[in-house]
Amino acid sequence: MTTAALARAWRNQGLRVQAFKCGPDFLDPMILEAATGRPVYNLDFTMCGEADAQAQLYRAAQNADLVVVEGVMGLYDGTPSSADIAVRFNLPVLLTIDASGMAQTFGALASGLLGFNPQLTGAGVLANKVGSEGHAKLLCDCLPQHLSWFGALLKNENLRLPERHLGLFRAHEISDLEQKIETAAHALAQLSALPLPAPVTFNAPKNHNTPQLLANKTIAIARDAAFCFIYQANLDCLQDMGATLKFFSPLSDTTLPEADAYWLPGGYPELHLEQIAQNIGMRKALHAAFAAHKPILAECGGMMALSETINQQAAFNLLPGNSQIHDKLQALGSLKAMIPDGELGAHTFHYGSFETTVPAVASAKTRFGKTENIYRHGSIHASFLHFYFASNPIAAATFFNGRTA
C-alpha cells in the first residue's frame, strides 16, 4: 500500500508515474496499476533478464515523468535482490520502514540498511505504521541529514489490503481500493513535501526487431476472476510478434472466440470449481478446439482447469490427470526452462499438485530443488510454470504455432 500511496501522491501532483515490480509477482502490480492508471511491468533478472529490464526502464522513461520500482521482500533478500537491481540501474533507494514501537532506532536502521552496500544511492525514508503526528516528527528528526524524509503513514486498519493463500486479493475484488489508495496518498502529502530524487539516465537497449513468428495469427486468452495471472509484457510480446489478441471467460462464456491458438494462464480456478464444473458449453468448446488440433497453452491454474478434476470436483477434462490444492506451498522461485527452441524465463508459485500419466517433454528446477515439468498432450502444452515470453520470443512462439516443444 505504501508504494501505491506514494505513486498516487505524485500522480496527484500532475506527474506521469510508471510503476514496476521487482520479482515475478502478479498481484502487487494490479494494485500499482490502480494507483498509477498505467499497466505495470516486472523486473526480474532470472525470469526476465537484464536486457529486458534495461529495455523496459528505457521505454518507460520516454513516456513518464517518474519511474517507481517496488521492491520484493527486504532490500537485500533474494538473488538478485531489490538492492542488486537498484545498483545495476543506479536507482535511488527509498526505504519504507515499519516504525511501530520505534524511536531513534529508526534513523540508525535506515542509515545501516543503506550503508550495508556503499554502491547504493539513498533517496530517503518513509515511515509506516506510525502512532501519531508527534511520533512521525520524532522519526523525521532522528534521520541523518543526507536522508530525505518522505513522510509517514499512521496506523490505520482501514488501509489494510485483504489477502489469501497466493497473496493480496486482486485489485478488482477490493471494492474500496480507490478510496484506500487516495486516503493513504493524501496522508503522505500532508506530512511531507514528497521530494523528487535526482534524475536517472537509462541507456537505450540494443536495437532488435522482434521476429514476426505469429503474424496473421489470432490468440484467444482466458481472462476472468479464475484466470488472471497475465504479464502485460507477455501481451506486448505476442503483439510484437504479429498476433491479434482476443479474450474470453472460461467461467461465464459458453463458446470460444474463433482463434488459431488458446492460452489459459494461471489464477484461482480452485475458488470457482462449481462454475467450471457446470459450464458444459465451455467444456465442449475446449474439447472441440483440442480435436481441431488448435495449440493450447495452459499455465498453473490453467493446467489444473484442463485436468480431469480439481479437489475431486469435475474440471474441463482435457488433460489426463487430477489436480489438488494443498495447505502448504508446493513450489516457489524464478528459473529458466530449457525447451528445444531455447531457454525460456519462468517462475513458479503454487499450492497445487498434478498427478498424471502424461510424459514430461521438459523440466526445470528451482533453486530450492523443486522440479517443474512441462507436459505435452496432443496440441496442449501445460505446466505449473508461468512463462515470460519476452525472455525468448522464438521459444514462446512454439506454444502457439503448433510445433512440438
- Over residues 109-143, the pLDDT tens digits come to 999 999 999 999 998 999 999 999 899 999 999 99
- Which is the catalytic residue, given 48, 140, 237, 300? 300
Instruction: Specify if 206 maps to a domain.
Output: no
Segment of 95-109, 190-204, 286-300 carrying the highest mean pLDDT: 286-300
142 is an active site residue = no
Residue 403 has pLDDT above 70, yes or no: no
Instruction: Specify if 203 maps to a domain.
Output: no
What are the cell numbers at 119? 554502491
Instruction: Specify if 205 maps to a domain.
Output: no
Share the mean pLDDT of the chain.
93
Note whether 46 and 112 are same-domain residues: yes
Instruction: Specify if 213 maps to a domain.
Output: no
Identify the domain containing residue 287 by its residue range: 218-398
Query: What pLDDT is attached to residue 404?
Result: 43
Say which residue the cell 489478441 belongs to.
Answer: 245
Confidence of residue 378 (pLDDT cuts 50, 70, 90): very high
Instruction: Specify if 199 maps to a domain.
Output: no
Query: What CATH code is carried by the domain that includes residue 174?
Result: 3.40.50.300
Note whether 229 and 358 are same-domain residues: yes
What is the H or E stretch that residue 287 is in?
helix 280-291
Residue 268 has pLDDT above 90, yes or no: yes
The mean pLDDT of 165-182, rounded to a whole number, is 86
**Predicted model pTM:** 0.92
Instruction: Specify if 242 maps to a domain.
Output: yes
Instruction: Specify if 333 maps to a domain.
Output: yes
Query: What pLDDT is attached to residue 78?
Result: 85
Residue 20 has pLDDT above 80, yes or no: yes
Residue 54 has pLDDT above 80, yes or no: yes
- Which residues pair with residue 307 across a beta bridge? 319
Q: How many CB atoms lie within 10 A of CB 201?
A: 9
- Which residues pair with residue 352 across a beta bridge? 325
Note whether 179 and 267 are same-domain residues: no
The mean pLDDT of 55-71, rounded to a whole number, is 95
Note whether 35 and 140 are same-domain residues: yes
DSSP string, 77-91: -SSS-HHHHHHHTTP
Residue 405 has pLDDT above 60, yes or no: no
Residue 257 has pLDDT above 80, yes or no: yes
What are the cell numbers at 367? 533453486
- Estimate to the nearest angstrom the gap between the alpha carbon of 253 and the chain centroid: 26
Note whether 273 and 318 are same-domain residues: yes
Query: What pLDDT is attached to residue 192?
Result: 72
Note whether 120 and 232 are same-domain residues: no
Query: What CATH code is carried by the domain that includes residue 277?
Result: 3.40.50.880
Please check whether residue 181 is in contact with residue 4, taking contact to mean a CB–CB distance below 8 angstroms.
yes
Note whether 229 and 173 are same-domain residues: no
Note whether 158 and 239 are same-domain residues: no
Residues of the chain with pLDDT > 70, as a percent, come to 99
Q: What is the pLDDT of residues 334-357, one digit of tens each?
A: 999 998 889 999 999 999 999 999
Note whether 49 and 135 are same-domain residues: yes
What are the cell numbers at 140? 523525521
Query: What pLDDT is attached to residue 166?
Result: 75
What are the cell numbers at 87? 545498483
Note whether 182 and 307 are same-domain residues: no
Note whether 187 and 246 are same-domain residues: no
Interhelix angle 27-36/177-191, rounded to 10 degrees, is 70
Note whether 321 and 394 are same-domain residues: yes
Burial label, 161 (beta-carbon count in 10 A; 0-12, 13-18, 19+): middle
Q: What is the pLDDT of residues 215-253, one digit of tens each?
A: 999 999 999 999 999 999 999 999 999 999 999 999 999
Instruction: Specify if 405 maps to a domain.
Output: no
| Residues with Cβ within 8 Å of residue 68, at least 6 apart in sequence | 3, 6, 7, 10, 17, 18, 19, 20, 32, 36
Nearest-Å Rg of the Cα atoms of the chain is: 22
Query: What pLDDT is attached to residue 157?
Result: 82
Long-range contacts of residues 15-18, Cβ cutoff 8 Å, at least 24 apart: 15/65, 15/66, 16/63, 16/64, 16/65, 16/66, 17/64, 17/65, 17/66, 17/67, 17/68, 18/60, 18/63, 18/64, 18/66, 18/67, 18/68
Say which residue the cell 520470443 belongs to.
Answer: 393
Query: What pLDDT is attached to residue 150?
Result: 86
Domains in the chain, number = 2
Residue 269 has pLDDT above 80, yes or no: yes
